[in-house]
Structure 1
Amino acid sequence: MGEVKHILLAKFKDGISQQQIDDLIKGYANLVNLIEPMKSFQWGKDVSIENLHQGFTHVFESTFETTEAIAAYISHPNHVEFATDFLGHLDKVLVIDYKPTSVDP
C-alpha cells in the first residue's frame, strides 16, 4: 500500500515580510502535532539552477499513510483554519498528492 506524499508549491505575495513567512511556516509545521493523520512535514526553498520553478519559491511536503488520511487532514478544523490564513498570503499555489514508486534498474 505505501505512504502518500502531499506536496504544496508556493509563492508568497510581494510585500509579505520574512517574519510573516517564518511564522506561517512554523504554523504549517505545527500541524503535524495537531492532526493525527499527518505523519511528517518537511519544507525548503527553491535552489534549482535550471530556472524552471515558474515563480514558485517554497516546497512543503507532508506524509500520510493513505489518500483517506489526506482527506481527513484537509477537512480537519485545525487545517481549515490554518489553510485559510496561509492561502491568503500566497500569490501562487500548486498541490500534488502522489504515492512514491521505485524503479528497479
Structure 2
Amino acid sequence: MGEFKHILVVKFREDTTPQEIESLIKGFANLVSLVPTMKSFHWGKDLSTENLHQGFTHVFESTFDSLEGIAEYGAHPHHVEFANIFVPKLEKVIVIDYKPAAVQP
C-alpha cells in the first residue's frame, strides 16, 4: 500500500503564546504513542525567503499506512481530545492528505 501523508499548514492566533505553541507541538507529537495508525510525526516553521506563506507559520506532517488509517486517526479519542485544544488556537489551517509519488523517468 505504501505510505500516506497527512499535512497541516497553520497560522496560530495572535494571542497564542510561544509557550502554548510549544506545548501544542509536544501534544501533537505525543499522538504517535497514543494512536496506533499514526506511524510518524514531523513539524517545522516556515523558513521561506519568498514571503509567499500567506501568514501560515507552521507545518505538521503525520505518516500513515493507508487512507483508512488517517480516518481512524481522525476519529480516535486521543486525537479528538487534542483537536479540541489545538483547533481553537488556530487562525487559519489547510489540511492535505496525499500518497507520495515518485517521478517516472
Whether TM-score is above 0.5 comes out as yes
CA offsets 1:30-56 (integer angstroms, 9 cap, x no match): 000000000000000000111111110
Q: Distance in 2 between matches of 1:102 and 1:50?
A: 26
* Structure 2: runs of 5+ lacking an equivalent: none
Q: Which residue of 1 aligns with 2:54?
A: 54
1:104 CA displacement: 2.7
Q: Which residue of 1 aligns with 2:70?
A: 70
Percent identity for Structure 1 against Structure 2: 64
Secondary structure of 2:55's counterpart equals: coil
How many residues of Structure 1 are paired with residues of Structure 2 in the alignment?
A: 105
Task: Please tell me the residue identity of whatever aligns with 2:88.
Answer: G
Q: Distance in 1 between matches of 2:92 and 2:78?
A: 22
Of 8-17 and 34-43, the range deviating more from structure 2: 8-17
Return the TM-score normalized by structure 2. Answer: 0.97
Give the ranges of 4+ consecutive aligned residues of structure 1 lying more than 3 Å apart after TM superposition.
none
- In the TM superposition, 1:92-103 aligns within 5 A as 92-103=92-103
Q: Which residue of 1 aligns with 2:85?
A: 85
Q: Distance in 1 between matches of 2:12 and 2:23?
A: 13
Return the TM-score normalized by structure 1. Answer: 0.97
* Structure 1: runs of 5+ lacking an equivalent: none
Task: Please tell me the residue identity of whatever aligns with 1:71.
Answer: A
Kindly report the root-mean-square deviation, in angstroms, between the aligned alpha carbons of the 2 structures: 0.7
1:8 CA displacement: 0.3
